[in-house]
């Protein structure tokens, strides 16, 4: 994956080789949704258990695809496990912001400005993206943005279904 910083590449490969929360949850009570990225052939299946207080008590991830899609799903599962549905939606917004800010930067004029924007993203609100910051290098490759956001869109569907069942 040329072009990604070594540190970021290591984080991504670690999640790809050792995916967190891999498996299935029993449905019901779990909600199951699946997403597909035909551009790359990525498939992500998301299972979430939500309790009466709207807390995501458990999450499991299935599917197959490229390292970006599967690493993003793994990082997402680790980030949102144990959060409320509201917090999970904030994570989705923050992650999509990370992707879209850099998308808008593609025509940018210099690395200094890019560094400034990176710092803003890292400090944005109460959301700590942690390992997910590793994926910001992906936006240098616009076709891979769909790989990175696939699991988050699939999670958003699961949250909608879980909310509908409440």
Binding site for Zn ion (CB under 5 A): 40, 42, 66, 69, 147
CB of 67 to Zn ion, least distance (A): 8
Smaller CB separation from Zn ion, 1 or 40: 40
d(CA 111, CA 117) in angstroms, rounded, equals: 10
Neighbours of 87 (CB within 10 A): 17
Smaller CB separation from Zn ion, 67 or 83: 67
Smaller CB separation from Zn ion, 40 or 55: 40
d(CA 111, CA 93) in angstroms, rounded, equals: 25
Smaller CB separation from Zn ion, 48 or 66: 66
CB of 35 to Zn ion, least distance (A): 11
CB of 65 to Zn ion, least distance (A): 5
Which phi and psi (to 5°) does residue 79 adopt? -70, -35
Distances (CA, A) of 115 to 46, 90, 119, 131, 154: 33, 23, 6, 17, 30
Please say whether the beta carbons of 98 and 135 come within 8 A: yes
Smaller CB separation from Zn ion, 134 or 147: 147
CB of 41 to Zn ion, least distance (A): 7
d(CA 73, CA 67) in angstroms, rounded, equals: 10
Please say whether the beta carbons of 21 and 75 come within 8 A: no
CB of 140 to Zn ion, least distance (A): 15
């Amino acid at each position: 994956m040329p072009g990604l910083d070594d540190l970021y590449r290591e984080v991504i490969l670690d999640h790809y080789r050792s995916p967190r929360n891999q498996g299935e949850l029993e449905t019901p009570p779990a909600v199951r949704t699946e997403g597909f990225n035909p551009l790359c052939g990525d498939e992500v299946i998301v299972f979430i258990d939500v309790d009466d207080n709207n807390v995501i008590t458990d999450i499991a991830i299935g599917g197959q695809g490229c390292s970006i899609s599967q690493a993003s799903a793994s990082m997402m599962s680790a980030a949102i496990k144990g959060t409320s549905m509201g917090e999970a939606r904030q994570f989705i917004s923050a992650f999509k912001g990370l992707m879209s800010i850099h998308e808008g930067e593609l025509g940018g004029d210099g690395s200094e400005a890019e560094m400034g924007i990176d710092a803003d993203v890292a400090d944005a609100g109460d959301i700590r993206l942690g390992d997910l910051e590793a994926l910001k290098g992906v936006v240098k490759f616009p076709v891979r943005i769909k790989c990175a956001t696939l699991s988050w869109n699939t999670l958003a569907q699961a949250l909608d279904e879980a909310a509908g069942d409440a």
